[in-house]
Amino acid sequence: MGNCNCGEKKKRPDMNYNFLIKKEEKKDGLDVYMPKTSISYFSQIKCPLCKCDLPEEENQIIEKKLSFYRENKLPKLIDYYNTEANAEDKIDNISDLEDIYNQIKDYSQEIENNRYYKHVCTNNELCQRMNNQEIYIDLCSFDINNFQSSLIVDINRLKTDENYKNNYLNKKAVAYNKYIKKQRKYEIENKYRDEFEQYTFEKEQYEYEKDTMAIRQTYEMHLAQNKLFDPPDDNPYLKPLDNKPNPSFYWYSYKDYFKYSGSRKKLKSFIEDLTGEKMYDACIAMESWEYEEFVDYILKREPEYYELLNIK
């Protein structure tokens, strides 16, 4: 417990301070003030009564309390639990859920043990009162006791209610079966992707040869022109101009000459190899019409793929 006695040096209140708000419920008969949002730094905490900075010794106590836990870790653990509950690649993962649940429970208790700080405001003249006032400062911005409502699966019922457990495992089995089919679909598509891209590239190969020749000629011309403006080698005080042609210029000038994503990939690789620079703005993906053509290409070679078409 600490107080905000200013000592020798008077502190000035921050009249705009409103980070801590008064809760409806009390603790041990005392008013409780909680933060509007998660606390990032201990310096965000001031006395909510006189609105003055806390003394250094109080800041150190609060900083130590905050170091025991970070409240944003709890929502992350809850998300981790829910992600595990929805995991498609597992069926019976109840023991994994229980491990995460125990982490959530332990961390919630750790927060509960360290969340309250008793503070005494002694700036009576500033607050226009006769006596010192004790309050609690809650260092947590939410009610951790309700974390159970955020969990999409009740771990206790999984362990005690056989019907609840069976329903959960049946849903997991359905999701797992769908996951396996999706993986098989991706495997088949990846098996034929390079072959399809080569097949479609051959349709546009003439255009590719013509355009890459033009790009190379233009690029070399630009380099030669820039070389004319470079300073003489015997002048150490002048640096060559850094005016290399931008690879994106060639990409956006020529990409629309190609319909297929495989041809565009080859064009991108050619420009990057020519210029020695990566293009992070060159996004390449199959359009819907090309994907339909890709599907037809696979179906002629892999009958099993037909049964997987509607898997999303």
Q: What is the predicted pLDDT for the residue at 143?
A: 79
User: Does the pLDDT at position 168 exceed 90?
Assistant: yes
Instruction: For the full predicted model, state whether its pTM sits above 0.85.
Output: no
Q: What is the predicted pLDDT for the residue at 41?
A: 86
Structure tokens that stand for 33 in this block? 């003030």
Q: Fill in the DSSP letter of residue 54.
A: P
Instruction: Give 96-152 pLDDT, tens digit per residue.
Output: 999 999 999 999 988 888 899 999 999 998 888 899 999 999 998 887 778 888 999
Instruction: Give 248-258 pLDDT, tens digit per residue.
Output: 999 999 999 99
Question: String of b and e for 120-155 (b: at least 16 CB within 10 Å)?
Answer: bbbbeebbeeeeebebbbbbbebebeebeeebebeb
Confidence of residue 219 (pLDDT cuts 50, 70, 90): very high
Q: What is the predicted pLDDT for the residue at 5?
A: 56
If one counts every other C-beta atom within 10 angstroms of the C-beta of residue 312, the result is: 6
CA distance 53 to 14: 8
Q: Are strands 20-22 and 32-35 parallel, antiparallel or unpaired?
A: antiparallel
CA distance 5 to 130: 15
Confidence of residue 38 (pLDDT cuts 50, 70, 90): confident
Q: What is the predicted pLDDT for the residue at 231?
A: 56
Percent of the chain whose pLDDT exceeds 70: 91
Q: What is the average pLDDT across 177-187?
A: 95
User: Does the pLDDT at position 263 exceed 50?
Assistant: yes
Give the start-to-end residue ranges of the domains of the chain. 2-160, 166-308
Q: What is the predicted pLDDT for the residue at 6?
A: 44
Q: What is the average pLDDT across 276-299?
A: 94
Q: Lowest mean pLDDT: which of 35-39, 99-103, 223-227, 231-235?
A: 231-235
Residues 96, 79 contacting (CB under 8 angstroms): no
Q: Fill in the DSSP letter of residue 287.
A: -
CA distance 94 to 92: 6
Find all residues with CB under 8 Å of 144, minimum gap 6, and list them: 71, 74, 108, 111, 112, 115
Structure tokens that stand for 302 in this block? 């892999």
Q: What is the predicted pLDDT for the residue at 97?
A: 97
Q: What is the predicted pLDDT for the residue at 181?
A: 95
Q: What is the predicted pLDDT for the residue at 1?
A: 62
Q: What is the predicted pLDDT for the residue at 91?
A: 94
CA distance 122 to 126: 9
The mean pLDDT value of the chain amounts to 90
CA distance 27 to 311: 55
Strand partners, 22: 33
User: Does the pLDDT at position 279 exceed 50?
Assistant: yes
Confidence of residue 8 (pLDDT cuts 50, 70, 90): very low
User: Does the pLDDT at position 239 exceed 70?
Assistant: no
Q: Are strands 116-121 and 2-3 parallel, antiparallel or unpaired?
A: parallel
Percent of the chain whose pLDDT exceeds 90: 71
3-class DSSP state for residue 256?
helix
Between 83 and 9, the more confident residue is 83
Say if residue 259 is exposed, middle or buried (CB neighbours under 10 Å; 0-12, 13-18, 19+).
middle
* H, E, C per residue of 149-191: HHCCCCHHHHHHCHHHHHHHHHHHHHHHHHHHHHHHHHHHHHH
CA distance 154 to 164: 9
3-class DSSP state for residue 121?
strand
Residues 22, 32 contacting (CB under 8 angstroms): yes
Q: Are strands 116-121 and 133-138 parallel, antiparallel or unpaired?
A: antiparallel
